[in-house]
Chain A
Amino acid sequence: MLQGFGPQLLAGLAITVQVALVALGVGLILGLGGGIAKVYGNRAVRGVAEVYTTIFRGLPEFLVVLIAFFGGSLILAQFSEDAELNAFTAGSLALATTFGAYATEVFRGAFQSVPPGQIEAGKAVGLSGLTIMRRIVLPQVWRLALPGLGNLFLSLLKDTALVSVIGVDDLMRKADIARSVTKDSFTMYAAAAVLYLILTAVTTVILHLLERRASRGIRRAA
């Protein structure tokens, strides 16, 4: 049915997962930094974080991917004639930037949900600001931010399809190639859709398990 393109699609799926994981890693760092900047930063730092989230939550992900690719190539061309921008890097970083902007808001909310009394308690027993952060705030932020981050990651998984347009050999692009060879567009895109569905369904289950693990020992209303 897939006329021998099955392994190709699976190889594309692996690239899709890689793009998503790289974007997730970089995006989490950006989001955590942004969240800390918004909650604990001084005015200048808060301003920078505000500008970052305002811009990247307002731009289409697709445009950000295009900007990263074309803008990146242009900047690279300034330095060396024959340097070529890696589409995988440009695409992943573009998705990470958008993810980071949304994650900033999730982390901000999580930081603000840590009861101030606990931070005061930390100060009262003489912990330094950094220790309070590491021992009291961050362990709880993970639990509080997880549901929001999970939803963002599900969007990210689907947005990875955008990098096919700049030439990354992900699942979507493999489906494009298979379509142009076999002329059977419906089967190829349907196969890609099924693989994406499996990917999002499995991710949803994993996120559910993570959430359960992260909130173990939390008191709940019966």
Chain B
Amino acid sequence: MDFSFELIIDSLPQLLAGVGLILKLVAAAVCLGFFIAVPVAVLRTSRSPLVQALPFSYVFFFRGTPLLVQIFLIYYGLGSFEVVRNSPLLWPILREAYWCALIAFTLNTAAYSAEILRGAIMAVPFGEIEAAKAIGMTRVQAFRRIILPRAFRIALPAYGNEIIFMIKGSALASTITLLDLTGVARRIVARTYKPVEVFLAAGILYLIIVYGVTWLLKRLERRLSITPPRLPVKAEDAGPV
């Protein structure tokens, strides 16, 4: 087996273009997904089974099926309907692999993020919600000013993991012809039949992206974390004076 460094050097520009596509897709999916996740998470905390039904089914489906199935359902599945193919509004979007991948990634990450956020909303200390009620905030105000900001901070570590999973999941874009990092690597392998060099290079690039983003998220977490104020010793802790 002759190892070819030249091939790695030669393919680097294409691989880096693939990195660009990943970052673009994941950034867009995570941002769009966030705006879906927030209302879904809030509805999921409702006590009414009627309100819960729809968001529950959505989360259940997208967390219970493989991302690959979701991508194919949107890219191949929706296109098999005459109505979709004849629609001047939907077809220009749904025939493009790029948009289909973005839709699938967005819906997928939104479902996972909604569950993370739901857990975080439930973890907001009761006292803070009661305090909000006590000073006369409405339910909407309490959500906007107290519960959600607090929940975001609680959710951040888990949400960071979800972003990392999305980066790794984005490799599936290559299954519908997109030239993301994995797609570029597969194409070069098919042409040169040198999988060792090409996948090694792609793997190193993935590790750099994943640990780079992890590092950024850790910094963000540290910035947003509040050190709890040092409370004065409570009277009952001090014991009888």
Task: List residues of chain A with CB under 8 Å of any chain B CB.
Answer: 54-55, 58-63, 66-67, 70-71, 74, 78, 158-162, 164-165, 172, 175-176, 179, 183-186, 189-190, 192-193, 196-197, 200-201
Task: Tell whether, in the assembled complex, residue A196 and residue B199 are in contact, meaning their CB atoms are under 8 Å apart.
Answer: no
Q: Given A179-B76, A197-B64, A201-B64, do A58 and B81 touch, yes or no (CB 8 Å)?
A: no
Contacts of B202 on A, CB cut-off 8 Å? 63
Contacts of B76 on A, CB cut-off 8 Å? 179, 185-186, 189
Interface hits, B149-192 → A, CB 8 Å: 167-172, 174-175, 182, 185-186, 189
Total of A-B residue pairs, C-beta within 8 Å: 111
Task: Tell whether, in the assembled complex, residue B77 and residue A63 are in contact, meaning their CB atoms are under 8 Å apart.
Answer: no
B68 within 8 A of A: yes
| A158, A189, A196 — most chain B CB neighbours (10 Å) | A189
Instruction: A93 to B63: give the CA distance in the assembly, Å.
Output: 24
18 more CB-based (< 8 A) A-B contacts, given A62-B172, A63-B206: A55-B207, A59-B210, A60-B168, A60-B182, A63-B185, A63-B202, A66-B186, A74-B1, A161-B66, A161-B68, A164-B68, A183-B80, A185-B79, A185-B80, A186-B77, A189-B72, A193-B69, A200-B65
Contacts of A175 on B, CB cut-off 8 Å? 69, 72
Instruction: A100 to B218: give the CA distance in the assembly, Å.
Output: 24
Q: Which of B65, B169, B174, B195 contacts A197, CB < 8 Å?
A: B65
Contacts of A183 on B, CB cut-off 8 Å? 80
B187 CB to closest chain A CB, in angstroms? 12
Contacts of B186 on A, CB cut-off 8 Å? 66
Q: Given A58-B206, A162-B68, A200-B64, do A193 and B199 touch, yes or no (CB 8 Å)?
A: no
Closest to B180 in A: A60
Task: Tell whether, in the assembled complex, residue A58 and residue B211 are in contact, meaning their CB atoms are under 8 Å apart.
Answer: yes
B217 within 8 A of A: no
- Can you list the 10 inter-chain pairs with the closest CB atoms, starting with the nearest? A70-B195, A60-B171, A161-B66, A186-B77, A185-B76, A60-B168, A158-B66, A62-B171, A58-B210, A185-B80
B216 within 8 A of A: no
Contacts of B63 on A, CB cut-off 8 Å? 200
Instruction: A183 to B77: give the CA distance in the assembly, Å.
Output: 10
Task: List residues of chain B with CB under 8 Å of any chain A CB.
Answer: 1, 60-61, 63-70, 72-73, 76-81, 167-172, 174-175, 182, 185-186, 189, 195-196, 199, 202-203, 206-207, 210-211
Q: Given A186-B78, A189-B76, do A59 and B69 touch, yes or no (CB 8 Å)?
A: no
Instruction: A139 to B199: give the CA distance in the assembly, Å.
Output: 40
Task: Tell whether, in the assembled complex, residue A66 and residue B182 are in contact, meaning their CB atoms are under 8 Å apart.
Answer: yes
B171 CB to closest chain A CB, in angstroms? 4
Task: Tell whether, in the assembled complex, residue B199 and residue A63 are in contact, meaning their CB atoms are under 8 Å apart.
Answer: yes
Instruction: A63 to B182: give the CA distance in the assembly, Å.
Output: 7
| B61, B77, B170, B207 — most chain A CB neighbours (10 Å) | B77
Instruction: A95 to B98: give the CA distance in the assembly, Å.
Output: 27
B2 CB to closest chain A CB, in angstroms? 12
Instruction: A27 to B186: give the CA distance in the assembly, Å.
Output: 26
Contacts of A185 on B, CB cut-off 8 Å? 72, 76-77, 79-80
B94 CB to closest chain A CB, in angstroms? 12
Task: Tell whether, in the assembled complex, residue A71 and residue B199 are in contact, meaning their CB atoms are under 8 Å apart.
Answer: yes
A124 CB to closest chain B CB, in angstroms? 35
Instruction: A184 to B81: give the CA distance in the assembly, Å.
Output: 9
Task: Tell whether, in the assembled complex, residue A186 and residue B69 are in contact, meaning their CB atoms are under 8 Å apart.
Answer: no
Closest to B80 in A: A185
Mind listing 23 A-B residue pairs with CB under 8 Å? A59-B206, A60-B168, A60-B170, A60-B171, A60-B206, A62-B174, A63-B171, A66-B185, A71-B195, A74-B196, A161-B66, A161-B68, A172-B69, A185-B76, A186-B76, A186-B78, A189-B73, A189-B76, A190-B73, A190-B77, A193-B69, A196-B65, A200-B64
